[in-house]
A and B are shown apart, each in its own frame.
Chain A
Amino acid sequence: MKLRVLSNQAKEAICAEFPKYPTKRSVLLPALWIAQDECGYLSEPAMMDIADLLDLTPVQVYDVATFYYMYHLKPVGKFHIQVCKTLSCGLVGANALIAYIQKRLEIRVGETTQDGLFSLKLVECLAACGSGPMMQINEDYYEHLTNQKVDQILDDLKRLGRSNLATSRFRLPMAI
């Protein structure tokens, strides 16, 4: 079988999931993660590759990929910013923070900066309600946010590709 866009490495990673489950279809969510990690988003050819590997039809793959919001069907920024807007964060300043990030990046929610570095999205509860307002950028959580912290995080990411303001092991309440 010839793969359209996925690498052999991705194929191997997907096949390594098979022994964990009694059906091939159960590997669909892991396979979508592997493809997204490799390509940055889930293109139609990538989903067709997954369909072939899992003995599914392309539409079965598409059906599932469109249900879960963390799967990107279009490319996103190198740093994908997701700000929590649900009640607990809203009570401690999420809306003002969202307004600030939009102004600072000169984009609106749902857009990507022209250099392709940052995309901005609002999301529902990320289970960090005691340390809001908060956001997730790629794999990392950033909590207890202020405008100053946002400035530093965005600068760090632009310059270094990482920021040590990301939360390490989570524990609440923070030591006083």
Chain B
Amino acid sequence: MPTYEKILLKNMERPGYTGSLTDYGHAGGYSALEKVLKAMSPQDVIETIKKSGLRGRGGAGFPTGVKWSFIPKDHPGPKYLCCNADESEPGTFKDRQLIENDPHAILEGIAIACFAIGAQTAYIYIRGEFFSGAKILNEAIAEAYRAGFLGKNILASGFSLDIYLHRGAGAYICGEETALLESIEGKRGKPRSKPPFPATHGLYQRPTVVNNVETMMNVPHIINRGSEWFAAIGAGKSTGTRIFSVSGPVKRPGNYEVPLGITFREMIYEHAGGMRSDKQLKAIIPGGASAAFFTPDQLDVKMDFESVAAAGSMLGSGGVTVMDEDTCMVWAAMNLLEFFHHESCGKCTPCREGSAWLLQILQRIEAGEGRLDDLHALESLSHKIEGMTVCAFGDAEVAPILSTIKHFRAEYEAHIEERRCPFRSNVVLAMAH
């Protein structure tokens, strides 16, 4: 199996590493913050991150340095940074591991980002279910204050920063950046119409950057080792490593940090050990539940932003869900629609009503009560949802449906013609909610 230098997971894979400030310090922690505060201007930092090519690890893959450069420099009032730790894209479980095992690496990245954009307050928005992660982060924040890496006049540089942890309470949509801002403001987590963008009108209508946990964690390494070093890792415009979460019936599910641009084949068959019981692979979700399904003939697609997009899906959150020959594709799409229906915030009619209708149709097909025109109804409804909503949720909820119909149309038709699910024995249905 090919091995690669780990950057983000390196510390935590050392025997005995606890993620404490002492351990992080021994591993060279906070040296990048010191370098930035003593020897760099905010503009230098932004240029370095721009040159590295670092792109957001949350899902959209927007260039991080460019995002930072959108923050107005002459803005008179406060500016904010929000770190998105609301990890909830089905199939994704990397942030939990990063938060629980190396919290200071995240704090250091946040501090550097705040210096670059001129923010003196940062909020980490962590999903409510991560009780353990919240405790660990709060302890790390307290440690960092005591050591002088947070608070007033950090390392006698004149730069001051407060970081606060804000806990969510169970709403997938709060991972969407403007919904996250609403939630911090004490409101329902409903996405805002854009423009205006958070860079000018974000938290409390102030200039704001929202960055993912994994994005933040890359920043100190780029400062320490240089943008050329970072840009040399990966493929084309997808630079650096990425932590992919692999789940489903593979032999070794887990989080794997690899350079961007290896193939799905290598990820699934080498790193994740291949299929359990050596079953046949049937389908792959390449980047979280919002991404269109791939089939085995796409195993050689490279895991970078451009290649996955060119192949008709998206690298998204890096959550790779693998399905074997026993998986019913109608059931898989229905399961994800249950998720999307449950999590739709209700703001936009096409998404709110559409997710309910789509789910109803899928449930009746799966139950053997589908009609031949149901496939047409699913497709036509989907096209009336995508692009018609304030946030990307509308596009996300139709991706599993349109892609499973595209790749597995015969399976849908078999459900309808045979008036049953051909895989029924594998699935316990009719669960009470």
> Residues on A close to B: CB < 8 A?
20-23, 25-30, 32-33, 54, 63-64, 67-71, 85-88, 90-92, 95-96, 98-99, 108-110, 122-132, 136, 139-141, 167, 169-174, 176
Of A23, A33, A54, A131, which contacts B204 at CB under 8 A? A23
Contact B78 A127, beta carbon cutoff 8 Å:
no
- Cα-based distance from A170 to B345 in the complex (angstroms): 30
Contact A33 B167, beta carbon cutoff 8 Å:
yes
Contact B247 A129, beta carbon cutoff 8 Å:
yes
Work out how many contacts link A and B, with CB atoms closer than 8 A.
179
Interface centre among A29, A92, A98, A110 (most CB of B within 10 A): A29
- Stretch among B59-67, B94-102, B193-201, B218-226 lining the A interface: B94-102
- Cα-based distance from A68 to B128 in the complex (angstroms): 10
Contact B90 A86, beta carbon cutoff 8 Å:
yes
Shortest beta-carbon contacts, A-B, top 3: A173-B254, A68-B169, A28-B186
Contact A29 B169, beta carbon cutoff 8 Å:
yes
> Whole-angstrom distance from the CB of B3 to the nearest CB of chain A?
14
Of A88, A92, A173, which contacts B90 at CB under 8 A? A88
Of B93, B185, B204, which contacts A128 at CB under 8 A? B93
Number of interface residues, chain B, beta carbon within 8 A: 68
- Cα-based distance from A25 to B186 in the complex (angstroms): 5
- Can you show 19 pairs from A to B with CB atoms below 8 A apart? A20-B162, A22-B78, A54-B186, A64-B187, A67-B171, A69-B170, A86-B335, A86-B339, A87-B332, A87-B339, A110-B432, A123-B170, A129-B93, A130-B255, A131-B253, A170-B97, A172-B97, A173-B253, A173-B255
B370 contacts A by Cβ under 8 Å: no
Q: Mark B207-226, 1 if CB is under 8 A from A, else 0.
A: 00000000000000000000
| B221-268 CB contacts (< 8 Å) to partner A | 245-249, 252-255
Of B90, B132, B427, which contacts A125 at CB under 8 A? B90
> Whole-angstrom distance from the CB of A52 to the nearest CB of chain B?
15
Interface centre among A25, A136, A173 (most CB of B within 10 A): A173
B172 contacts A by Cβ under 8 Å: yes
Of B88, B100, B285, B323, which contacts A170 at CB under 8 A? B100
B108 contacts A by Cβ under 8 Å: no
Of B128, B136, B166, B327, which contacts A70 at CB under 8 A? B128
Of B89, B167, B432, which contacts A108 at CB under 8 A? B432
Of A21, A54, A128, which contacts B96 at CB under 8 A? A128
Contact A130 B132, beta carbon cutoff 8 Å:
no
| Nearest CB in chain A to that of B343: its residue | A124
| Nearest CB in chain B to that of A54: its residue | B186
Residues in A whose Cβ lies below 8 Å from that of B252? 173, 176
Q: Mark B167-196, 1 if CB is under 8 A from A, else 0.
A: 111111000000000011111110000000
Residues in B whose Cβ lies below 8 Å from that of A87? 90-91, 285, 289, 321, 332, 335-336, 339
